Amino acid sequence: DLEANRNGTIFASLKKTPHILRNEIIKTCAEDESKCPYPTYDLVIDVTQVFCGAFFHWIIETWPRIGPFLDGLLAENMPNNFAIRVGCVSSLEEFHPQFFDLVGLENITLISGEPPVFAKEVIAPTEGFSHSPLLNYWNLVVMRQKVIANLEPIEKSEYKTVLVIIRDASRRPDTFIFNNKFLKELSDGLPDIYKVVPFRSSDKEMM
């Protein structure tokens, strides 16, 4: 009951249809944040992407979409009241904030699918809607450069690591396409300085 839901709120006196009610809420939030029924931000970057709770979709499609805005977000004069909306999940995974830490965005405000929020400005990047990293190459390169610049100097090993990324989502029938036999034959066929390491997002120790 729309009328009943309004009782006890700042919109109790409104007598209009839902889409007009939405416009009234937006107007109220824009004019006086103290009367807004939702959390308010100066800027929200919405990187909502299907399956972003899954590691592959996150690292290839979702996370790199902030690449064009990183310099601005990391600037000293960047306002603190901004957030990044990861709207495809009801709750955030542990690795979501960790990945933003990697590029220097520490303690950033992340928003999941709920609750609604109000933002004075919303940016919804379109780059990144692709299963292929080749079609999202520039953003991935930018993110990689920021990660390397943000890390401590890396001590190089005498060995070189060949990281075999294995898709291991439970909904896939090809979870074990890169089995131990494949990894062993790959290792045997490479010079001794190479070390083959399988990368599975379900490997908690590696993550």
**Predicted local distance difference test score (pLDDT) of residue 13:** 58
Amino acid at 148: I
| Mean pLDDT by groups of 10 residues along the chain of 207 residues | 48 59 83 88 87 77 87 88 83 84 90 83 74 72 89 82 73 63 84 85 70
pLDDT of residue 26: 85
What is the C-alpha separation between 85 and 114, in angstroms, rounded? Answer: 10
Residue 4: the pLDDT is 44
- Of 120, 31, 47, which Cα lies nearest the Cα of 81? 120
CB-based contacts of 104, cutoff 8 Å, min separation 6 = 74, 146, 150
Task: Give the pLDDT score at 100.
Answer: 92
Q: How far is CA 188 from the centre of its chain?
A: 37
Could you tell me the two tokens for 37? 């029924």
**Amino acid 48: pLDDT:** 82
DSSP string, the chain: -HHHHHTTSTTTT--S-HHHHHHHHHHHHHH-GGG-SS-EEEEEEE---TTTTSHHHIIIIIGGGGGGGHHHHTSTT--S-EEEE-TT-SS--THHHHHHHHTT-TT-EEE-S-S--EEEEEE---TT--S-GGGGHHHHHHHHHHHHHHSPPPPPPSSEEEEEEE---TT-TTTTSS-HHHHHHHHHTS-TTEEEEEEETT-TTT-
Statement: the pTM of the whole predicted model exceeds 0.85: no
- Please answer whether residues 102 and 148 qualify as being in contact, where contact means their C-beta atoms are separated by less than 8 angstroms: no
Tokens of 199: 């990368």
Task: Report the pLDDT value the prediction gives residue 14, as an integer from 0 to 100.
Answer: 56
